[in-house]
């Protein structure tokens, strides 16, 4: 989100305000259990930031960009044990030279990683803002050599082993689809990666690479255009039904 903050500082989007960025401003879990009732409650840092920003539920839209790297925590590094997964409907067959992990097993791992995000979406829905959206994480970078160049060496002095790009794209696609389903169940919407930032295979284009897992400021400028489009469309829809 720091890239988005820098992009916002250098662009003219007066209707967009980034109120929390990074773990220093949004520390801890997304959701906590109320110690009196045991019920989950959204991280108070968000409530405080909304209050300080003078946010109004009847007027404003919430957009989050949290927890986009679960698929990387599962599959960025091969760690000596590369694998592939068969995704139903995927246009290419799995790599026959790699161990095949069942789709259901990978789905279960991602679902466990996304449990907190699902609870967070439930809490955002309860805040009853005009709408809430979530920025999908950028698609993976296809160049394993570039990714290795951005990562520290292992204690042995060797470069870390990066999972095949095709596998990382599958994991990202699975996470994105599961995230979209969670949002839909809770009245939210997903803002997918801008089409112009993806190559013909679905990976992040080179001009938008920053490091091993993050996109650069140019990518976030495209996201700001998406956000502004949501704001403009909301105004038009309300005028049409006014």
56: Cβ–Cβ under 8 A, 6 or more apart, which residues? none
Q: Of all helices (H) and strands (E), which one includes residue 83?
A: none
Q: What is the pTM of this model?
A: 0.93
Query: Is 175 within 8 Å of 114 (Cβ atoms)?
Result: yes
∠ Cα 37 178 20 (to 5°): 60
Contact 215, 197 (CB under 8 A): yes
Residue 34, Ramachandran bin (φ over 0: left; ψ between -120 and 50: alpha; else beta): beta
Q: Report pLDDT digits (tens) over 17-56.
A: 999 998 889 999 999 988 788 888 999 999 999 999 999 9
Q: Is the pLDDT of residue 240 over 80?
A: no
Alpha carbons 49 and 64: distance in angstroms, whole number: 13
pLDDT for 115 equals 96
Sequence spans of domains, the chain = 57-222
- pLDDT value, residue 236: 60
Give CA 150 to chain center in angstroms.
20
Q: Is 80 exceeded by the pLDDT of residue 1?
A: no
Q: Report percent pLDDT > 70 for the chain.
A: 97
């Amino acid at each position: 989100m720091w890239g988005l903050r820098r992009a916002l500082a250098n662009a003219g989007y007066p209707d967009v305000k980034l109120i929390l960025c990074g773990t220093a401003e949004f520390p801890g879990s997304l959701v906590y259990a109320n110690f009196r009732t045991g019920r989950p409650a959204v991280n108070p840092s968000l409530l405080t930031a909304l209050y300080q920003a003078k946010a109004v539920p009847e007027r404003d839209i919430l957009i989050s960009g949290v927890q986009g790297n679960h698929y990387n925590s599962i599959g960025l590094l091969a760690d000596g044990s590369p694998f592939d997964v068969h995704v139903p409907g995927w246009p290419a067959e799995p790599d026959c030279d790699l161990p095949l992990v069942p789709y259901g097993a990978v789905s279960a791992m991602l679902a466990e990683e996304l449990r907190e995000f699902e609870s967070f979406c439930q809490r955002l829905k309860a805040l009853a803002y005009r709408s809430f959206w979530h920025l999908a994480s950028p698609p993976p970078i296809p160049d394993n050599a570039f990714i290795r160049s951005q990562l520290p060496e292992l204690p042995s002095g060797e470069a870390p082993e990066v999972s095949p790009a095709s596998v990382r794209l599958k994991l990202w696609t699975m996470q994105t689809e599961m995230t979209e389903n969670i949002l839909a169940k809770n009245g939210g919407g997903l803002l997918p990666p801008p089409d112009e930032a993806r190559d013909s295979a679905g990976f992040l284009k080179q001009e938008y690479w920053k490091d091993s897992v993050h996109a650069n400021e140019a990518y976030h400028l495209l996201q700001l255009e998406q956000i502004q489009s949501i704001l403009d469309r909301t105004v038009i829809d309300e005028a049409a039904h006014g």
